[in-house]
Amino acid sequence: MSQLLAFGEVLVDWIPLEFQRQGKIDIPIYGQYPGGAPANVAVAVAGLGHKALMLGQVGDDAAGHYLRDCLQRQAVNCDFLLSSQDYATPMAFVSLDAEGERSFSFQRSNTADLKLRLDDFPNQVWAGSGILHICSNTLTEDNIANTTFDLVNAANKAGMLVSFDVNIRLPLWQNTEQLFQRVMQTAAASHMLKLSQEEWDYLSKLGQVDNLAAVLFEQGVSLILLTDGAADVQLLTANWQTSLATPTVSVVDTTGAGDAFTGAWLASLIEQQICDSATLVEAIEQQAPLLTALQAAVVAGALAVTKRGAWSALPSAADIQAFIHSEE
């Protein structure tokens, strides 16, 4: 059975729920939500009926125990989610504007997720077919960046697809030159990329690249997904491209919307047994399998913004199909 391997940070998202007036000041009341982009994707894929494994590390602390329990309750396999007695679980503090758009501040200095090495995981991780999914938050520091490169190489050797959500969080980066180099190095070893239009423009400017798509395809990338909020989603390949409009919905919270999109995309690929380079090439030639996956992804991302939180907002397969049928 094909599976998803999601590698990276599992953390607590502290999200503002309301304000409470105390005297002359308003005190924000925060909710503790499980999160971390790779973890969100693992939960999304598991919720859509496919096997998902979380590769990472949390602290042996209250937050780490909470996150492990949450993942297991969502049917995510945590056999390779390690615990550290020496380093703490990372956290993120989310702020939302009037339109539900988020900004982040992080408590992620010397935390457990940054201390992993390839040999912390047994070779059995690479048994069977599947997709390795990663994000750029594991590229921000030397040790975890090297571990990410090693994992990507191991996945390629095992014949797996590699999915890379660029997902840039600038507060985590001290050196933007390293950002561009590491993102491009990881992209060159990946089959599929997901970027927002903002990330696309930022990387193009940072690297002084006129045609980023051409550079990425020349490096060996097979497929690019480009999102832009409520605007059309673009699917780009070296030989053809298409776009799909996003549904109009009432936005409550955009936290995790991109991960809902990615999870539904990857779940559809797994469902269609598109889990290695040969089947991806065939799907690109046929086009229809990818259009099916794109439709599910766009709907999942739209439904996710109508609820608060990351995991709690993830739509089920029934939700996605019901919405698709209602639009026909």
**For the residues of 63-128, what is the DSSP string, one character each?**
HHHHHHHHHHHTT-B-TTEEEESSSPPPEEEEEE-TTS-EEEEEE-SS-GGGS--GGGS-GGGG-S
> How far is Cα 289 from Cα 284, in angstroms, rounded to an integer?
8
What was the pLDDT predicted at 328?
A: 66
Of the candidates 161, 5, 158, 154, the one whose C-alpha atom is nearest the C-alpha of residue 79 is 5
The Cα angle at residue 74 between residues 171 and 147, in degrees rounded to 5 = 45
What was the pLDDT predicted at 197?
A: 97
Q: How confident is the model at residue 94 (pLDDT cuts 50, 70, 90)?
A: confident
Average per-residue pLDDT in the chain? Answer: 93
Q: Select the more confidently predicted residue: 28 or 9.
A: 9
**Both tokens assigned to 142:** 């030397």
- Which residues contact residue 162 at a Cβ distance below 8 angstroms, ignoring those fewer than 6 apart? 131, 132, 134, 152, 155, 156, 189, 190, 191, 192
What was the pLDDT predicted at 70?
A: 96
* Coil, helix or strand at residue 310: coil
Average pLDDT over residues 17-42: 89
Q: How confident is the model at residue 103 (pLDDT cuts 50, 70, 90)?
A: confident
Predicted confidence (pLDDT) at residue 93 exceeds the cutoff of 90: no
> How far is Cα 190 from Cα 161, in angstroms, rounded to an integer?
7
What was the pLDDT predicted at 100?
A: 60
**Both tokens assigned to 279:** 């089947």
Q: How many residues does the chain have?
A: 328
pLDDT in tens, 140-166: 999 999 999 999 999 999 999 999 999
Predicted confidence (pLDDT) at residue 99 exceeds the cutoff of 70: no
What was the pLDDT predicted at 102?
A: 67
Average pLDDT over residues 3-31: 89
What was the pLDDT predicted at 174?
A: 87
What was the pLDDT predicted at 311?
A: 81
Residue 285: how many CB atoms within 10 A of its CB? Answer: 11
> How far is Cα 257 from Cα 253, in angstroms, rounded to an integer?
8
Q: Is 40:167 a contact under the CB 8 Å cutoff?
A: no
Q: Is 201:232 a contact under the CB 8 Å cutoff?
A: no
Average pLDDT over residues 92-121: 83
* Coil, helix or strand at residue 149: helix
pLDDT in tens, 264-311: 999 999 999 999 999 999 999 999 999 999 999 999 999 999 887 678
What was the pLDDT predicted at 33?
A: 86
CA separation, residue 147 to residues 10, 72, 136, 162, 221 (Å): 16, 25, 12, 15, 21
> How far is Cα 223 from Cα 190, in angstroms, rounded to an integer?
9
| Candidate from 6-10, 106-110, 158-162 with smallest mean pLDDT | 106-110
> How far is Cα 146 from Cα 282, in angstroms, rounded to an integer?
32
Q: How confident is the model at residue 98 (pLDDT cuts 50, 70, 90)?
A: low
Average pLDDT over residues 82-97: 89
> How far is Cα 317 from Cα 204, in angstroms, rounded to an integer?
36
What was the pLDDT predicted at 128?
A: 84
> How far is Cα 285 from Cα 103, in angstroms, rounded to an integer?
39
Predicted confidence (pLDDT) at residue 32 exceeds the cutoff of 90: no
Q: Select the more confidently predicted residue: 136 or 31.
A: 136
Average pLDDT over residues 6-12: 95
* Coil, helix or strand at residue 296: helix
